[in-house]
A and B are shown apart, each in its own frame.
Chain A
Amino acid sequence: MNNKINRLEETHPLTWRMRDDKKTVWIKEYCNKNGYIAFKKTLHQKTSKDVINLVKESDLKGRGGAGFPTGLKWSLMPDNIHDKKEHRYLLCNADEMEPGTYKDRFLIEQLPHQLIEGMLLSAFAIQATRGYIFLRGEYIKGEHVLKKAIQEASNFGYIGKNILNSGFNFNLFLHTGAGRYICGEETALINSLEGRRANPRFKPPFPAMFGLWGKPTCVNNVETLSNVPAIVLHGPHWYKTLSHSSDTGTKLMGFSGNVNNPGVWELPFGITAREILEDYALGMKSGLSLKAWQPGGAGTDFLVSKHLDLSMDFNTITKAGSRLGTALSMAVDNKTNMVSLVYNIEKFFARESCGLCTPCRDGLPWIVKILYSLKNKEGQTNDIKNLEKLCFSLGPGKTFCAHAPGAIEPLQSAMKYFRSEFEAGINIKNQI
């Protein structure tokens, strides 16, 4: 964290408990810092509907990238439980693999109990009896931290049957993946958890009605769940005051790339990208200037310098032609060739296509091949036209899930702002 930030409970609900030495905050320290108070109060004083209403009133939006309202997602879970023996599931999506994104790891490794308390409150709200944290297999430290933290919470009586004599039952398990970016898509995550290939499922039915093993299931991101304890403890009105924009609360944001101080900070929505880049990331490295930036991960459209003064929130960034995504931004410097950069990004998306639907499976490697030839100045006359056609064919609504539409966002925006670099890749000898 940047020293300039004075992290307080009143202003930094996600990070105020973090230690300056960045070591994990275990349960005793977490409890000393007002941990599990929201959960204990809720168990004995609130109903599940109360918690859903609090989160609805807070206008908390999902922090996994899509920004869907969390309270609304919870209220999609069936209201009446016919058979109390049937499980309902809460899944934590901790399969963070979007290139350029490093926020969930930050929360998992330093504040595992905030996530667990968030899951307990969320499970209470949706009346889930079982939960899984789906953690990507490569987060080895995160795995050790979460295993120990779940054990600690069990020892304290916060996980299990009839928790603190409230009648509420909730078991929490850690499940680790075996690689593949697509596991982060909510229905692919469910398939993977069931021991299948991580192919997305057709919706409807939505997971709220037919999810894990056909039972009602809710999937929330790590950062989303970590916001819940503070909302329940201090109320939705307070939560709204934290933001400087129409999106409520705070957000983990940051800049990576060739900047002087790459990092992640808890900041209010509505801060500008320029403030993050200059005041926190301390600007571009000496001798470099900003050429373009991606607001929130490899699957978001590039923006340019003129967009730096826009407010970092879901609506504003969408209006500017991109998406806030995970809000972990990446700066591209003036010495980087956009065709080569986009080639790197598209190679990633092609490699990680699950192969279920044809446009994505065949279209992305085609894009990679064209970009490879343009990068090497061996492009054909029709290459840019073909790339545009492919962007259309892989766009929203034409594939099974959002993988391909996400993949073409950086490509279409790079062609929009830096078309001459693509044109420079066409070999004059290939022109008819």
Chain B
Amino acid sequence: MSTQFVLSTFEINEIENQKKYYENYKAIAIEALKIVQKQRGWVSDLAIIEIAKILNINSSDIESIATFYSQIYRQPVGRNIIRYCDSVVCYLTGYQKIKKALENHLSIKTGHTTLDQRFTLLPICCLGNCDKSPTIMINEDLHSKLTPESALNLLESYK
């Protein structure tokens, strides 16, 4: 297996572009991880080393950030990420049934990816959509007032 990993020109430019917003370039670290993740789906160990090089920060510092924030993925994920809100209002309005329906339909447990790499299922903190709960987010789309059936119907539009 090749150990070559090169950040694309686009990724480097996007990261460099962030420098105008901050006094200290260390502040770009989290955004840099997000930029790389947006292109590749997740952030590998080798990607962390490359990000550390262009920001001139120790790679263990970048690693410590990457492992802290829940929206940075340190292992490959599916093409679509389903994040169900498991906070207290969605608990009252029945997120558990939606979670169960998704797990059964996709034949995976929370935290896992389907064999065809189409979906990864994850929990998420309160999505601030409590008046329209239960709520899930698929990639960047918010879906509200769900039932187990309507949640499963959504999946068709995510290939």
Residues of A within 8 A of B (CB): 87, 96-102, 104-105, 137-141, 173, 175-181, 192-198, 213, 254, 256-258, 262-264, 298, 328, 330, 332-333, 336, 341, 344-345, 348, 352, 354
Residue pair A341, B92 in contact (C-beta under 8 Å): yes
Pick from B26, B131, B137, B140: contact of A262, CB under 8 Å: B131
Count, A-B residue pairs, CB within 8 A: 126
State the CA gap A231–B62 with chains docked (Å).
43
Pick from A140, A173, A193, A258: contact of B140, CB under 8 Å: A140
Q: Mark B110-125, 1 if CB is under 8 A from A, else 0.
A: 0000000000000011
What's the least CB distance linking A68 to chain B, in Å?
22
Residues of B within 8 A of A (CB): 21, 23-24, 26-31, 33-34, 64-65, 68-72, 83, 86-89, 91-93, 124-133, 137, 140, 142
Q: List 7 A-B contacts (CB under 8 A).
A: A99-B130, A102-B129, A177-B71, A178-B72, A180-B68, A194-B24, A196-B26
Given known pairs A99-B87, A140-B140, A345-B88, the reply for A178 and B70 (CB within 8 Å) is: yes
Pick from A175, A178, A330: contact of B130, CB under 8 Å: A330
Pick from A138, A175, A213, A344: contact of B88, CB under 8 Å: A344
Q: Which residue of B lies closest to A140 (CB)?
A: B140
A194-B24, A298-B87 known; 10 new pairs, CB 8 Å cut-off, are: A99-B88, A101-B128, A102-B129, A175-B31, A194-B26, A213-B24, A256-B89, A262-B130, A336-B92, A341-B88
State the CA gap A257–B91 with chains docked (Å).
9
Q: Which residue of B lies closest to A263 (CB)?
A: B131
Given known pairs A194-B26, A352-B125, the reply for A180 and B70 (CB within 8 Å) is: yes
Residues of chain A lying within 8 A (CB to CB) of residue B93: 257-258
Residues of chain B lying within 8 A (CB to CB) of residue A254: 131
Residues of chain B lying within 8 A (CB to CB) of residue A197: 64-65, 68
Residue pair B125, A328 in contact (C-beta under 8 Å): no
Q: Which of A104, A192, A198, A257 has the most CB of B within 10 A?
A: A257
Q: Which of B71, B125, B128 has the most CB of A within 10 A?
A: B128
Residue pair B131, A264 in contact (C-beta under 8 Å): yes
Given known pairs A96-B128, A99-B126, A102-B131, the reply for A213 and B23 (CB within 8 Å) is: yes
State the CA gap A262–B21 with chains docked (Å).
39
User: What are the 7 A-B residue pairs with the smallest beta carbon separation, nearest first?
Assistant: A179-B70, A99-B87, A178-B69, A179-B71, A195-B29, A99-B126, A256-B130
Q: Which of B29, B70, B133 has the most CB of A within 10 A?
A: B70
Q: Which residue of A lies closest to B24 (CB)?
A: A213
Residue pair B128, A333 in contact (C-beta under 8 Å): no
What's the least CB distance linking A219 to chain B, in Å?
16
State the CA gap A344–B132 with chains docked (Å).
19
State the CA gap A192–B22 with chains docked (Å).
13
State the CA gap A179–B92 with chains docked (Å).
23
Given known pairs A197-B65, A328-B130, A330-B130, the reply for A178 and B89 (CB within 8 Å) is: no
Pick from B65, B89, B127, B128: contact of A195, CB under 8 Å: B65
Residue pair B130, A195 in contact (C-beta under 8 Å): no
Residue pair A348, B27 in contact (C-beta under 8 Å): no
State the CA gap A352–B65 with chains docked (Å).
15
State the CA gap A232–B136 with chains docked (Å).
40
State the CA gap A99–B124 with chains docked (Å).
11
State the CA gap A97–B129 with chains docked (Å).
10
Pick from A137, A333, A341: contact of B71, CB under 8 Å: A137
Residue pair B65, A341 in contact (C-beta under 8 Å): no
Q: Which residue of B lies closest to A255 (CB)?
A: B131
What's the least CB distance linking B57 to chain A, in Å?
8
Residues of chain B lying within 8 A (CB to CB) of residue A140: 140, 142
State the CA gap A102–B135 with chains docked (Å).
13
Q: Which residue of B lies closest to A181 (CB)?
A: B125
What's the least CB distance linking A133 to chain B, in Å?
12
